[in-house]
Structure 1
């Protein structure tokens, strides 16, 4: 697209066309004067930047000597027009003495909605540069953890549990060879998300509703250390998970922090004591006071703010008194240190004593340390001026941290303008009421501070207003991120998931606004999918769907939400009829909106549902429809996708020549950017699939060596991708083709084993089941009939549960053939009959081989040679019609071995000789070697009758 198209901008409910100078709110045009429009365009072209008053005047009134009064008049008119959408939202900030700034995120409305990859976080937070008074504790917990493996650090909020746990993890990192994972549960609000959070930390793709078996498999093997931090709000879920992991993984070490014990089997509780402080002693010297960790911490934190500070003997009793009044609780001492920088030790102690006298009397029956921390927070809060209190209260709507710009946009209003909010943020940071963390220097309230401030916000009657502003801000922010292309997606949005959860929780609550929730769901759909938070995505999109009203019906929002819901269902629950129905609805919405991209995506996924069952008639219809839409769009990437779909469908239905041309067209004319977008959105790679299917196809058409090369190319491509499904696809088709080509050389067994390991690790049950079935073929060939039978039907059960029926007939028929080779003819026939294979369906890929195997069983059973030949001749006729040389070769070889008359044998050899001459390569394959032996007479009938494959 040209640069001019980028002048269509959207913010809040508005869309601005710069070229046509038109502002709309939904379908309504917003009336703006020429001057107000000039001001708006000037501001939106420089979002989040201060545009000077003189620059605005010069832009709007060039060479006309307008004054600031005129500017203010038109700014007021512009603000009034924008307020019609939502009076509580601020779009234009006044920066006193400087100018104006447009503070709402802006998005370009035409860009696609890619799904970013989940952002990767460090496995272990950085430890404090100086940890005071905890060395002995760290050593004791290390020893206990090494011996007993499961330790929970228990203590009240602010005592330093996380600090100690992080230190222990760093100390033991080398022992576990780096296999240490730290999982912060504080941003989560549902017990069902605990196990997925842990699985994500260990790099597992969450593609199943029950992640526990997968997680147990991942944790098995070399020793690992898992740190679960802040479990108290999800105590039941954390306890259940910890108990199961500890019971099932003998090599796992668990370190937990919580305000209460998990009470789980195997747990050893370490109650974290407060920092030791001196007893009351007015003669205490500074050197003696500094022997106590609480005083060390106080002095250390004051020095961080005031480098010249030193503790003198006269002040030692005062410092000791502060630590004593705060019960040695680390967070409370750190808060006090911030006051010492302003008021000095004496005044700080006096203020603290006053507050303790007022607030602690009569409440000692509650947890003492918890009440001590509350008192410290109340005292610290009372030291703030009114504007700082307002800002702190309002910041409590953020969850998990926030950017400076976000705080300004959400908190500022007429009572506390943008400049004052900026000043207050600095003051609150300097007074330790706001923490600074991370490489991006994000701000956050400590959890206890946030809870305290949230109560004050509620008491002031402002919680609803500012939670709404918070939700609107992040709705705009996530919509802006979703509008960018894949490479330009701002990865910083991944860090805002805590705020996203908080906003959606409010929006969908009784006190919230469901419309805002729907906006948030649509804006964030690609983020949930891109971060592989699939279970949570399904939950949020389902809530949004339930809140859609008549105004949203048929809208783009509904289409985005519906497709995200269907996608997350498909990945977590499989290709069910429910997920099919969801995608069918998304397709109808896309057609109604004329959205070609979503039509193509919907058709692709619907086709995938049907090709797997298999329902070939519906799959063909969907593939052909996709081709029509793609060709009409003129998009090369879309055409390549449609060619891929048609090629795979034609291959499955035996139209091999058409399939080959379509698959080659897809590979040769694909657009890499479109391919990557599909990988990002669905974790699925059509190039890998096309190569793997093409490998099977060229084997059928008489090029085994080329098939082997294509299969290896498919696997190599899949290994380069950080996705679960592409390698499963490549291993599935390549293992099958290797088995059909050279079943004795071990390649098929190795690929099947890798498939089982990889699919099991990523919980991709359909391919896991196929791997089991392939392993079963390997075992039955080795004579392990009972174990092979169990493995086969276990694999088929998994395939059926995932609604993947394509391979059922050939896997069961081949298993039956192997049994017959071993002499278990009756059992072989029973397996074939149990499979209920429809030999009259000539549209399925494997029907010639199924007929050949049925003929082999007839020859071994009671039906005799005539029945056998009937199956063979029919198989040859279908194979010839399709151009499937490999199936023809196999059946002609079987026929030549089975024939007892000289005339019949010569006729069969004639067919075999003509077929063999058509092969392009592959002289070293099992089929070709056997065919040559039959033709040159070196094959003896007593070596087996046809079923020696």
Structure 2
């Protein structure tokens, strides 16, 4: 966990207390507080890392670094510290206990303290995406201080108020204010762009870099947040309030260190929520004698005057002018948005005329909206009046811009809404005008400016569009975002952080809206099919498999004969197959992928073929059809070479090397895997990135297994650890899980159970977080194997049975043979020889049928042990000899050593010591490394028994 530690310079002030760390002095309102040395050490440790959970063991190691003490000592001094602080008295709260975990200092800290952060993982949170706060925010300083205190005390703080009151501005300012307390781990999730409540959890998961690999992303989201200390800002929640309330409640139950800041027009009304009513800005009262100085002391007047100056207007503020300002502010109820809109008109109309226009338009609106909430009256009146002040050109542009959902760029605006009479200079000039009039928001993402209509403004403008214009705009909008997907789709697999993902994620909201429009009317089906075909590869790359399945199947069902065999059908069939493979297993996957490949082959495009052959190879491996997988991988490699693209070629090497490895063709597998591993880092926009990863990143884990089988156990361990390290640094979960699977197999084969156990826990955590449930089942199976080796055979067998059954049920068969070997070993240990023999015979037959021959020598060795247990030593010896020969042909020295050792032990038992030594010694001497591994140590022990 990232946290601030180390030394603190200066004073730490909280509540009525001041802690001088250098002088080791605590004072309350200037009066020294008597505090024991250990209690003072505790306070310094906790206050130096505010809002950070410090475990009990961590605190004890700091307070008593050279002494072993009981936990009761910590509780004793903590009680004394809390008593000295008056913690819990009269509402004061300084230290909170997280049951079973530790303590956290929760009071706001002020003063001159400077925390020196050590390098124990306190790197900047990569998904942080807060916009910068305004250089000056008028009238909200007290709100920020009050809210800061609430965030330290409550898991959820909801800023509630009318539309346009400034909730988002305050929330962003507050989040920036608190960001250092959370080591930069602050994430803004703008739900205002979502129209479907079911997208709330996927939207948050995407911002946090969590792949959406199932229909319900919430378990993965909660698993990710469980031990994190993050500030989440949920912005604009009123239209999805029930869903957000349920999600927030689940998060605070599962993740005690997470803090949630909500902006909404209504409260969530959940346990643990503190509701903060954000009022409008205070306005000067009606007082004909009030001076300009007094009027400008009120926040509403300050904001109005500052916005007048920002718009370029210049005038000397007299007492009379100030009174007009005060009247305008009162008429607008101190609503920040309305004040800004009105202030920007002063340059064009003057202060008095602006007030007159306000009277004419807003008064009528208020009178006509008596039954509506006050904020809707004010906002509606503001929009009516503001729209009436626009030029005809600006009105047209505003109406047409309403086709966008959320953010858009100048290029998007030009492509979508331009007409023959609306050229580029006129359009861009109008956009500048709308920004200046506060009807259009502008923000920067790097070097790119993005624009957004406020939700109420967009709804208002949409209402003014005529039906014909709306249809034409929607068609243009859909066509633009189809081109956008085709242009930027290859970038998606490389996007890993919140700021990188945000512009693309906002674009996807427009894609969703365009898809909904296109399939809502049969006359637009062709547009929808084209758009869906461009969208499904992006949904795949972002692990949005439910949406990938939904739109690919929707488009396929609407497809007419003229689309059959088209590139669109190819993409849609691939999208359907891949999404179903990950969401539902093998059902309907193969027909869809086969059809997609058939189209790709007919079109003769090597890149298109590769994009289908890769997933098809993965499908065959997942379902345990290793022979078909090898055939597919061979084709994949050939097609990759034909592309001439380095990324595709690297991916082809991996697919082929992976399949060759499981097929027992170890020498060729090593060549292919090393070729993939030795390739240079590749650009993200290369064709191979379609499947979301690159061959270079995946090859190491399989190569590590291959090296062990070839009799290079030390090289195998080095490769395994190096691959895991690189995958962890790249933070690509699928790559890391594959690296861990390869590494754990090597650790188990070497007999390094401690390393295996450590990495199994890592695999369970990462795979569970990203819905890679088959990997979790495999990891649990590896856990069970360790239990069997450590003597708990009954529990291990029971767990292995469940794991294998789950893998069979999900049609994931890549590792079932390896787990079956562990299960049979356990059955032998508890004397269930007959069941074990039946299972090993079945496993051998399946290997010969399905093709994962890399396990065949070990299966034959295991069968020999079962025969020996059945008192058929002659047959056991013959079976071991066959296992040795199978290992020799395969080049699997790792398996051959085991079988040779066991046959030599049989010979020793028959007092054929010379024969045993002659058989085993040459094999042992072939090994130049790995002499501390279990297999070589037991082989040497057998050799020692051959000495007479």
- With the shorter chain as reference, the TM-score category is 0.7 to 0.9
Confirm or deny that 1:805 pairs with 2:813. Answer: yes
CA distance in 2, matches of 1:374, 1:296: 24
CA distance in 2, matches of 1:260, 1:126: 26
2:619 is matched with 609
Confirm or deny that 1:764 pairs with 2:775. Answer: no
Confirm or deny that 1:849 pairs with 2:858. Answer: yes
Change (3 A) 1:357 1:632: closer
Change (3 A) 1:232 1:537: farther
1:162 is matched with 168
Alignment equivalent of 2:470, drawn from 446, 463, 466: 463
2:888 is matched with 880
Partner of 2:158: helix, strand, or coil? strand
1:650 is matched with 660
2:900 is matched with 892
CA distance in 2, matches of 1:152, 1:472: 39
2:920 is matched with 912
CA distance in 2, matches of 1:303, 1:636: 57
Alignment equivalent of 1:597, drawn from 601, 607, 610: 607
2:784 is matched with 776
1:706 is matched with 715
Alignment equivalent of 2:479, drawn from 472, 482, 493: 472
8 Å Cα contact 1:294-1:328 kept in structure 2: yes
TM-aligned CA deviation for residue 312 of structure 1? 2.2
CA distance in 2, matches of 1:700, 1:330: 70
1:127 is matched with 133
Bigger RCO (CA 8 Å, 6+ sep): 1
Deviations 1:111-151 (Å, cap 9, x if unpaired)? Answer: xxxxxxxx987521221222122222222222223222212
CA distance in 2, matches of 1:130, 1:634: 55
TM-aligned CA deviation for residue 314 of structure 1? 0.3
CA distance in 1, matches of 2:188, 2:490: 33
RMSD: 3.3
CA distance in 2, matches of 1:475, 1:676: 18
CA distance in 1, matches of 2:339, 2:947: 90
Partner of 1:183: helix, strand, or coil? strand
CA distance in 1, matches of 2:794, 2:862: 21
Change (3 A) 1:485 1:196: closer
TM-score, normalised by the number of residues in structure 1: 0.79
8 Å Cα contact 2:828-2:836 kept in structure 1: no
Partner of 1:778: helix, strand, or coil? helix
CA distance in 2, matches of 1:613, 1:625: 19
Deviations 1:760-818 (Å, cap 9, x if unpaired)? Answer: 33332222222222222233333455664565456445544553213223224324435
2:931 is matched with 923
Partner of 1:226: helix, strand, or coil? strand
1:402 is matched with 408
1:263 is matched with 269
Confirm or deny that 1:346 pairs with 2:346. Answer: no
2:147 is matched with 141
Partner of 1:276: helix, strand, or coil? coil
Confirm or deny that 1:728 pairs with 2:737. Answer: yes
TM-aligned CA deviation for residue 402 of structure 1? 2.6
Deviations 1:145-189 (Å, cap 9, x if unpaired)? Answer: 322221222222211111121122122223222222211111222
2:513 is matched with 502
Structure 1: 5+ residue runs without aligned partners? 1-118, 941-949
8 Å Cα contact 2:864-2:875 kept in structure 1: yes
Superposed, 1:217-296 pairs within 5 Å as: 217-296=223-302
Alignment equivalent of 2:211, drawn from 190, 194, 205: 205
Moved more, 282-291 or 587-596: 282-291
1:453 is matched with 461
1:683 is matched with 692
Deviations 1:886-919 (Å, cap 9, x if unpaired)? Answer: 2222122223334575455554443323433433
Moved more, 604-613 or 573-582: 573-582
Deviations 1:177-209 (Å, cap 9, x if unpaired)? Answer: 222221111122222221122122223233333
Moved more, 791-800 or 631-640: 631-640
TM-aligned CA deviation for residue 327 of structure 1? 1.7
Superposed, 1:509-528 pairs within 5 Å as: 509-510=520-521, 513-528=524-539
Confirm or deny that 1:361 pairs with 2:371. Answer: no
1:536 is matched with 547
CA distance in 2, matches of 1:803, 1:153: 48
Confirm or deny that 1:838 pairs with 2:858. Answer: no
Change (3 A) 1:907 1:249: same
Between the two proteins, the alignment pairs up a number of residues equal to: 813
8 Å Cα contact 1:809-1:835 kept in structure 2: no
CA distance in 2, matches of 1:222, 1:637: 35
Change (3 A) 1:628 1:418: closer
8 Å Cα contact 1:767-1:799 kept in structure 2: no
Moved more, 425-434 or 335-344: 425-434
Confirm or deny that 1:586 pairs with 2:596. Answer: yes
Partner of 2:343: helix, strand, or coil? helix
TM-aligned CA deviation for residue 628 of structure 1? 5.3
Change (3 A) 1:726 1:786: same
Partner of 2:233: helix, strand, or coil? strand
8 Å Cα contact 2:647-2:686 kept in structure 1: no
TM-aligned CA deviation for residue 353 of structure 1? 1.1
8 Å Cα contact 1:604-1:626 kept in structure 2: yes
Change (3 A) 1:349 1:583: same
CA distance in 1, matches of 2:790, 2:426: 80
Change (3 A) 1:415 1:653: closer
CA distance in 1, matches of 2:649, 2:412: 42
Structure 2: 5+ residue runs without aligned partners? 1-124
8 Å Cα contact 2:707-2:713 kept in structure 1: yes
CA distance in 1, matches of 2:171, 2:200: 19
Deviations 1:433-489 (Å, cap 9, x if unpaired)? Answer: 22221242323222211111111114x75222222223333333443445999999x
8 Å Cα contact 2:781-2:800 kept in structure 1: yes
TM-aligned CA deviation for residue 276 of structure 1? 1.8
CA distance in 2, matches of 1:778, 1:770: 13
CA distance in 2, matches of 1:789, 1:550: 54
Superposed, 1:297-336 pairs within 5 Å as: 297-306=303-312, 308-336=314-342
CA distance in 2, matches of 1:711, 1:235: 47
TM-aligned CA deviation for residue 732 of structure 1? 0.8
CA distance in 2, matches of 1:303, 1:452: 28
TM-score, normalised by the number of residues in structure 2: 0.79
